[in-house]
Amino acid sequence: MKSQNLVLRIFLGLYLAVFFGYLLGPLIIMGITAFNSPGFPRATPWECLTFEWFDVLANDKRIMNGLKNSLIVGSGTVVLSVALGLAGALMLTQIYPKLRATFYTVVIAPILIPGVVLGISTLVFWDRLNIMLGFSGDSFLHNGIFLTILGQSTFIASYCMLVFLARLQRYDTGLTEAALDLGATNVQAFRKILVPFLMPAIASAAVLAFLASFENYNTTTFTFGKYPTLTIELAQKVRYGINPSISALAFTIVVLTIFAAVVHEVSQRRKQLALANGAPISAVGGSFQLPGFLRGNPAAIVLLVLTVGAVATISFASTYSPEACKVDVREQKRELQKQQIEKIQQQRQQQKLDKALQGPNIFGPDKSKVAPAPGAAPQSPGKGAFGGVFAPGNLDKATPKPESKIESPGKGTFGNVFAPSNLGEPAPEAPK
């Protein structure tokens, strides 16, 4: 039984490793490319540690403009979809029971409708409304920001509604009734009882709505008009020519995300601790410095490590200059290129030599048989003294019949050198 448990544990560990490798690996690799100096985002080969891509990013006007548009659209979407989602959730709690299933299906449908369809339908509808009302082509109904907010809110409001519904399930309607009995008006009961109860849900719905709006592409790509959001700009950059400044942006977003998530986690944890101990929340405030608190809280440790890492990186970045390294790499590359050029030149010379030597043999029966067996070919190009002969160009003409080659030895001037038996071994007389 115990050994079975161990096997199970190993399997579980392996599975978790694979799963989270798949989940986090791409982000980590992308993060690495943000610090590598080649102009195309790549993690290998590692060349120089550089921070220039963050500079490039900060100076990219289109990205910054996209960011601005994204923020505008995001805030509009948050307001609209939280309002709509809240109304939808409240409506669902008091709607005529027979209608409830239908209503739920209709308001939940936008989550399932492909974003492309939502974007198109929004665009088509407002465009036709515009024509119907006889407005000009640049009225506000054609405004990219207006359309994008509406298109995104259509489905983001459904997300918000789900958040509210989850919270409302735990609501005791007796509270509202009590308030009404005690003489509160409807609005008062709503404002003083229900809204405070829903406050956490409103906050998380707002965060969710903002994130969903910020990263939306499918809907926005049809509605953005003259106001491309950050995602649209990114997509265009990724599709047409990229440099690692995109990685730098991704890295920034990931770090901010982790930071926000960890801060949230820590505060959550602190609240739980406080509640568990029966203490008011304020009492555990400031426990961050206590090592005892850190011991039980991996999230806080992560936060600490992150902060230290960030400070270290920034101070390092302000003193470190990648120029020297870059020059080095350029030098290395030039050296490599030189070597390659030399190699090619040598090959050419050898080829000439070969041809000159082979000249008399052209009429010999071995012309086609000189080529090596196809199987041996990949090892030879450029390496052997007779590189040119083995060049891929010759292979096309080569007869793929090794047997016929066996007949040839001794007929050509070079005789045995080309015999298949020689090809298996490292080529003789390799140049340096």
Partner 1 sequence: MNIASIFKGFINRNGWGLGSYLLIAVGFWLIILIILPQLSMLDFSFRHHLPPPEMGGPKDTYTFEHYKFLALGAQGADQSYNVVDLGVFVRTLVAAFFVTILDLLLCYPLAYYLGQASGSGYTRILVLFLIIPYWVNEILRAFAFRIIFGDSGVINEMMMTMGLIDNPIDFIRDNIALYSGLGYAYILLMIFPMYNVIESLDRNQIEAARDMGAPWWRIHWRIVIPYAKPGISSGCTMVFMLSAGALAAPQILGGPSSLWFTQIIYQWFNQGGNWPRGAAYAIVLLTVCIVIVLSAMRLFKVKMGDIGK
Q: 7 to 26, contacts with partner 1 by CB under 8 A?
A: 12, 15-16, 19-20, 22-26
Residues of 345-381 as b/e, b for ≥16 C-beta within 10 angstroms? ebbeebeeebeeebeeeeeeebeebbbbbeeebeebb
Cα angle 366, 367, 373 (rounded to 5 degrees) comes to: 80
Taking the C-alpha atoms of residue 151 and residue 266, their distance in angstroms, rounded to an integer, is 35
State in angstroms the smallest separation of the CB of 318 from partner 1. Answer: 27
Among 63, 141, 162, 205, contact with partner 1 (rule: CB under 8 A): 162
Considering only residues 305 to 334 of the shown chain, the ones binding partner 1 according to CB under 8 A are: none
Among 56, 72, 242, 273, contact with partner 1 (rule: CB under 8 A): 242
- Nearest in space to 417 (alpha carbons), one of 376, 374, 363, 372: 372
Considering only residues 264 to 303 of the shown chain, the ones binding partner 1 according to CB under 8 A are: 265, 296-299
Alpha helices in 38-96 (DSSP H): 52-58, 61-94
Among 7, 17, 58, 124, contact with partner 1 (rule: CB under 8 A): 124
Phi, psi of 296 (to 5 degrees): -90, 5
On whether the CB atoms of residues 66 and 226 are closer than 8 A, the answer is: no
State in angstroms the smallest separation of the CB of 151 from partner 1. Answer: 8
Size of the site for partner 1 (CB under 8 A): 93
Distances 33 to 29, 47, 110 between C-alpha atoms, Å: 6, 10, 37
State in angstroms the smallest separation of the CB of 335 from partner 1. Answer: 20
Considering only residues 56 to 115 of the shown chain, the ones binding partner 1 according to CB under 8 A are: 83-84, 86-88, 90-91, 94, 96, 101, 104-115
Please identify, using beta-carbon distances, which residue of 53 and 222 lies nearer to partner 1: 222
Contact string 132-151 vs partner 1 (x = CB under 8 A)? ------------------x-
State in angstroms the smallest separation of the CB of 340 from partner 1. Answer: 17
Taking the C-alpha atoms of residue 271 and residue 325, their distance in angstroms, rounded to an integer, is 49
On whether the CB atoms of residues 202 and 82 are closer than 8 A, the answer is: yes
290: helix, strand or coil: coil
Among 218, 287, 346, 351, contact with partner 1 (rule: CB under 8 A): 218
State in angstroms the smallest separation of the CB of 385 from partner 1. Answer: 22
Residue 19's contacts (CB-CB under 8 Å, 6 or more residues apart) are: none
Among 56, 64, 79, 120, contact with partner 1 (rule: CB under 8 A): 120
Residue 85's contacts (CB-CB under 8 Å, 6 or more residues apart) are: 156, 157, 158, 159, 160, 161, 162, 163, 164, 205, 209
Contact string 37-56 vs partner 1 (x = CB under 8 A)? ---xxxxxx-----------
Please identify, using beta-carbon distances, which residue of 346 and 379 lies nearer to partner 1: 379
Phi, psi of 400 (to 5 degrees): -80, 50
Contact string 247-266 vs partner 1 (x = CB under 8 A)? x-xx--xx--xx--xx--x-
On whether the CB atoms of residues 81 and 75 are closer than 8 A, the answer is: no
Considering only residues 359 to 398 of the shown chain, the ones binding partner 1 according to CB under 8 A are: 378
Considering only residues 166 to 195 of the shown chain, the ones binding partner 1 according to CB under 8 A are: 185-187, 190
Only segment of 239-247, 281-289, 358-366, 412-420 that touches partner 1 (CB under 8 A): 239-247
State in angstroms the smallest separation of the CB of 317 from partner 1. Answer: 22
